[in-house]
């Protein structure tokens, strides 16, 4: 009787442990790519444990918008990445419902309609930052001579997860573009969101 009770008590724990192990295994699968970040908002640096950012995918200029006055572009819902990981040489937008294109693409990524950002999940992302790194990342976000790079892990089914953030010096072209920001529309900023207070 005692053995049956012990088994009944341990069975859910064993199931949870197996589920955690499987989730951990899946999270480590995939291809890592490095995606530059487009700007940051100096009025709202890192607060809490999440940094929110805007991806700067290398989408061809002719795919961004047609000629004419600037207009707001909807975020892509699916991208086919190409390059030599972790370097992305091109991100080509495609219809997420087009299975032929999806299957022909070696490295597809899809926005998650049920995710935090929904259909805009390829424009905006967020990354959890531990308290031990928060101060260093805050200082680097404020440095105008650095570019933030987010590492994402892309899987065969099109899902992806931001797994790290690092910083590098601006290239000469990036420096010139940043200096010219005062006469051109600003890139969408990185914004930060505080972690919800679970005690409330």
DSSP for 95-115, please give it.
-TT-HHHHHH-SSEEE--TTS
The answer to whether residue 54 sits within a structural domain is yes
- 189 inside domain: yes
> Is 33 part of a structural domain of the chain?
yes
Per-residue buried b or exposed e for 142-153, using 16+ beta carbons within 10 Å of the residue's own CB? eeeebbbbbbbb
Decide if 18 is inside a domain: no
Assigned domain for 143 exists: yes
In a domain, 177, yes or no: yes
Q: How many domains does the chain have?
A: 1
pTM higher than 0.75 for the full model?
no
Q: Quote the CA–CA distance of 123 and 161 in Å, as a whole number.
A: 13
Residue 19 lies in a domain: no
> For residue 17, is it within any domain?
no
Reading the chain (200 residues) residue by residue, the pLDDT tens digits are 666 666 566 666 655 555 444 444 444 679 999 999 985 544 445 555 778 889 999 997 655 555 555 556 788 999 999 999 999 999 999 999 999 999 999 999 999 999 988 999 999 888 888 778 878 887 887 788 899 999 999 999 999 999 999 999 999 988 888 787 644 554 444 444 545 555 54
Domain ranges, residue 102: 29-65+73-193
């Amino acid at each position: 009787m005692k053995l049956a009770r012990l088994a009944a008590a341990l069975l859910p724990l064993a199931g949870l442990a197996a589920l955690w192990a499987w989730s951990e295994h899946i999270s480590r699968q995939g291809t890592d790519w490095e995606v530059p970040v487009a700007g940051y908002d100096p009025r709202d640096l890192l607060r809490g444990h999440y940094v929110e950012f805007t991806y700067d995918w290398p989408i061809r200029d002719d795919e961004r918008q047609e000629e004419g006055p600037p207009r707001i572009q909807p975020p892509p819902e699916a991208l086919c990445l190409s390059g030599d990981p972790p370097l992305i040489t091109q991100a080509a937008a495609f219809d997420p419902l087009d299975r032929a294109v999806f299957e022909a693409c070696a490295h597809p990524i899809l926005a998650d309609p049920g995710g935090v950002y929904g259909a805009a999940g390829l424009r905006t992302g967020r990354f959890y930052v531990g308290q031990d790194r928060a101060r260093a990342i805050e200082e680097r976000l404020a440095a105008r001579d650095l570019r933030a790079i987010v590492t994402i892990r892309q899987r065969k089914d099109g899902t992806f997860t931001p797994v790290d953030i690092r910083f590098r010096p601006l290239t000469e072209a990036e420096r010139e573009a940043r200096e010219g920001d005062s006469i051109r529309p600003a890139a969408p900023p990185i914004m930060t969101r505080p972690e919800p207070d679970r005690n409330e």
